[in-house]
Structure 1
Amino acid sequence: MKLKPYLGLLALPLAISTAYAADIPDGPTITISGFGTAALTRASTDDAEFARVAQLGGVKTSAGTGVDSNFGIQATAKMNDWLSFTAQGLVRKHVTDEFGGELAWAFAKFKVTDNLNVRVGRMGLPVYMISDYLNVGYASTYLRPPVEMYSQVNLENVDGVDAIYQSSFGESTLTTQVAAGQSETKGNGNSYTAKFKSIAGLNMVLENGPFTVRFGHIYTKFSVDDSPSLNAVVGGLNQFGFTSQANSLKLHDNKATFTSLGLTVDWKNILVQTEYGKRKSESVSLPDTSSWYTMFGYRFGKFTPYFTHGSVKQDSPRTVAGLPTTGPLAGLTAGANALASLAPIQTSNSIGIRWDFNKSADLKIQFDRLSPENGAGTFVNAKPTFQGPVNVVAAAIDFVF
């Protein structure tokens, strides 16, 4: 296990704790805050690796820190009553198999009215119900978001503009967010770049007492022009006259959407959280999916045991029609079908417990049983002999400051 990079990060909160909030004479008010998770995770197989979305590698039977550990720090400079600047840095294992830093947020916020704020720069994109605090483990009951749901869109932020309007009626509050811009992410050890153009997002959250209902919709044009494996298959199909099949696999300015609906209930000691999402795409290489999860929890003082069930399935065909299954082109067909079946089919059941041993820190222990079907599911670097179910166990300390 490569512990040194992460252990060094854990010392940072102590170094900056004295600078939590400072008023600079004749200048802005600067606030510094942060969050992190220190975790150990292991799986019950050596035939594949358990990982979160967009991680190049994960863990097998030897425990590792990389899957669920991270550290983030955020600074906000309030210039006056209507203008502030926020930046957030995040360290985690993402895209590569080493801990690395990234600029998660960097935006200016303009307070137009008491109910309307406009932000310009890099912001979190409201893809999921917990997108605003997706990487803040302390903010969630479970140790990690269910991978079946939260692996469907590999996009966490947008470079552009958004507007957030909040209104109240009776005992209810409605927050509406619209976002527009563009983004890009790397994949498979920086071997290709996924580009998202013309992003448009809508996020609506209705709160009433212990109930929160959330609706979200994201639209984009999606391109991957530099993937060696994708280009090899598309080029081979064009070479042998399968033009329509090649065009169906290409990823260039293809329209894609993700629509989700979520509900949370926090009533007395009862916790319920559920979310359902559908991904649709014009390209066979980005298959259509349906995913959902439900979590139930109950607080006993500082302890919260919980249970989560998650599921994801592919809605579009997992083969490319009209290609030969035998003969010299069978290998090319296999490559095309592999692209058409990239979406995982998997269910999981998780049990865990959260212990709030400190006002700003918790300890979580979680056991997952994941059952991939017709492939490797959400696992990475799978051997041909791999098959589920697989057990995953993790322990984590979340903290905020």
Structure 2
Amino acid sequence: MKLKPFITLLAMTSAVSAAWAQDTSNITISGFGTAALTRSNSSDAEFARPNQLAGVTSGAKTGVDSNLGLQVTAKMNDWLSFTGQGLVRKNVTDNFGAELAWAFAKAKVSDNLNIRVGRVGLPVYMISDYRNVGYANTMLRPPVEMYTQVTLESLDGADVLYQTNLGDTAVTAQVAYGVTDSDNRGGFTAKFKKVSSINIVAENGPFTLRFGRVDANVTVDNSTNLNTLVSGLTKFGFASAANAIAVNDTKASFTSVGLGVDWKSMVVQAEYGKRKSASLSIADTTSWYTMFGYRMGAFLPYFVHASATQDSPRTVAGLPNAGPLLPYTLGANGLASASPIQTSNSIGVRWDFHKSAALKLQLDRMSPENGPGVFINAKPGFKGPVTVFAAAVDFVF
């Protein structure tokens, strides 16, 4: 994602410098990280997190699940503060790179109402604000079946957060609006405009309920493959098929609900999501997962089941099945069927061996269907199931 909010960055830098000069207690610096090794039992395809360029096969590597983050907050007075968060990880390149995750000014309008302007987190999922903070999560990683559906993590714009109590229930409502870009491992950039989101969280004792919705208009105009297919199909009289796969100011949405339970020794977390769009290149999908854990002192073993299915057609109607135009048919159908279809079962254990560090071991048994699932760079004939194993130390400071 390109670093757009330069004005916010300059303001934040000036604010940090000024606040530091006045009183170092106005500056809060914190960080988080994960040091991990990940491997699978297959050499025919690579396992990677969403939008990573490369992953792991049967040889253990550190890049898939490792990261490092640093956050700085400068409090100017009782109502104004500036926050910036940098993140180092592997994303759309095969090298560790730094990115600006957050950079916003926050105005405290009242005890219940806050407004943030700049680069703010986009609440797509239940754990969006801390999905990259491994220590804050029970699992070693969020289930990829769910978290590949929307890879956006922030937007450049503004959001409003309102908190109140309804009896014994604490309710937080968040609305956001802005724009963002997302670089893809395929070498193209998806541009998101008119991005709007609503996120409502209700907490009562050990129970958390969450509802979220994100809407956006998506454009992909620098994909050589997509542009070639759309122009070729249009040229040869298949305008309807071309329009079906084009991504040009295309309306798309993601709606999800979540449940969290932390009662006595039992830990439960579940999410269910539906993605919809007006283009077959961004398939309609249904995804969900459920995690069950049981805390035993410093140890927390857990089990996760996750699933991702496609709801829209995996072929484009009205195209020839033979002849000189067959490559266009295969290309269009390839776009329509690119969404991962997969189920997985995972077991893991978290050991909080230190007040600010935890060791996690996780084994995933992933079963892709009708294609490679979430696996990338698959060789011809690849099929599952595949076992992925990871060991990680999560820490905060």
TM-score band w.r.t. shorter chain: over 0.9
Partner of 1:216: 212
Correspondence for 1:282: 278
SS at match of 2:22: coil
**Rounded Cα–Cα distance in structure 2 between residues aligned with 1:236 and 1:349:** 42
Partner of 2:321: 325
Give 3-state SS (helix, strand or coil) of 1:378's partner.
coil
Q: Which residue of 2 aligns with 1:131?
A: 128
- Counterparts of 1:386 and 1:64, CA distance in 2: 21
What one-letter code is carried by the residue in structure 2 that aligns with 1:350?
A: S
User: Mind listing any 5+ residue stretches in structure 2 that lack a counterpart?
Assistant: 1-18
Q: Does 1:297 align with 2:286?
A: no
Match of 2:180 in 1: 183
Per the TM alignment, residue 221 of structure 1 is displaced from its structure 2 partner at its CA by: 0.2
Q: Structure 1 residues 64 and 27, CA, compared in 2 at 3 Å: closer, same or farther?
A: closer
CA distance in 2, matches of 1:193, 1:26: 42
1:352 lines up with 2:348 in the alignment: yes
Q: Could you tell me which of 271, 276, 288 is aligned with 2:267?
A: 271
Partner residue, 1:174:
171
Give the Cα separation in 2 of the matches to 1:208 and 1:188: 41
2:84 paired residue number: 87
| Structure 2 residue 252 is the aligned partner of structure 1 residue 259 | no
1:196-252 deviations in whole A, cap 9, x for unaligned?
000110000000000000000000000110001111111111121101110111111
Q: Secondary structure at the match of 1:244?
A: helix
Describe how 1:144-183 pairs up with structure 2 within 5 A. 144-183=141-180
Using the TM superposition, give the Cα deviation of residue 303 of structure 1 relative to its aligned residue in structure 2, in angstroms. Answer: 0.2
CA spacing shift, 1:269–1:330, aligned 2, 3 Å = same
> What are the superposed Cα offsets for residues 22-76 of structure 1, whole Å, 9 maximum, x if unpaired?
9643677101000000000001111100000000100000000010000000000
Residue 59 of structure 1, aligned match among 52, 56, 60: 56
Structure 2 Cα separation of the partners of residues 395 and 389 of structure 1:
20
| Alignment match, 1:341 | 337
Q: How many Å apart are 1:171 and its aligned residue?
A: 1.1
Q: Is residue 41–residue 59 contact of structure 1 (8 Å, CA) maintained in 2?
A: yes
Counterparts of 1:149 and 1:188, CA distance in 2? 18
* Mean CA deviation greater in 200-209 or 376-385: 376-385
1:27–1:79 CA contact under 8 A, matched in 2: no
Instruction: Give me the whole-angstrom Cα distance separating, in 2, the residues matched to 1:198 and 1:162.
Output: 13
- 1:308 and 2:304 correspond: yes
1:104 corresponds in structure 2 to 101
| Matched residue, 1:250 | 246
- CA 1:107/1:28 → structure 2, altered by over 3 Å: closer, same or farther? farther
Q: Measure, in 2, the Cα distance between the counterparts of 1:268 and 1:290.
A: 32
* Unpaired stretches in structure 1, ≥5 consecutive residues: 1-21
Q: Residue type matched to 1:182 in 2?
A: V
Quote how far apart the aligned CAs of 1:100 are.
0.3
Shift of 1:345: 0.5
Q: Which residue of 1 aligns with 2:115?
A: 118
Larger mean Cα displacement after TM superposition, 119-128 or 227-236: 227-236
Name 2:381's counterpart in structure 1.
385
TM-score, normalisation: structure 2: 0.94
Which shows bigger deviation, 80-89 or 327-336? 327-336
The percent of aligned pairs where both chains have the same amino acid is 66
Would you say the 8 A contact 1:28–1:77 is kept in 2?
no
- Give RMSD over aligned pairs: 1.2
Post-superposition offset of 1:188: 1.6
1:34 to 31, 36, 40: 31
The separation in 2 between residues aligned to 1:169 and 1:243, in whole angstroms, is 54
Q: Distance in 2 between matches of 1:46 and 1:152?
A: 25
Structure 1 runs of 4+ aligned residues shifted over 3 Å read none
Distance apart, 1:143 and its partner CA: 0.3
Please give the alpha-carbon distance, in whole angstroms, between the structure 1 residues aligned to 2:130 and 2:331.
37
User: C-alpha distance in 1, partners of 2:156/2:25?
Assistant: 25
Note the alpha carbon deviations across 1:263-306, whole angstroms, 9 max, x for none.
00000000000000000000110000000000000000000000
Equivalent-residue separation in structure 1 for 2:201 and 2:52 (angstroms) = 30
Which residue is equivalent to 2:14?
none
Counterpart of 1:241 in 2: which secondary structure?
coil
TM score, norm. by length of structure 1: 0.93
Task: State the alpha-carbon separation in 2 of the partners of residues 26 and 192 from structure 1.
Answer: 45
For 1:363 and 1:349, locate their aligned partners in 2 and report how far apart those are by CA, in whole Å: 20
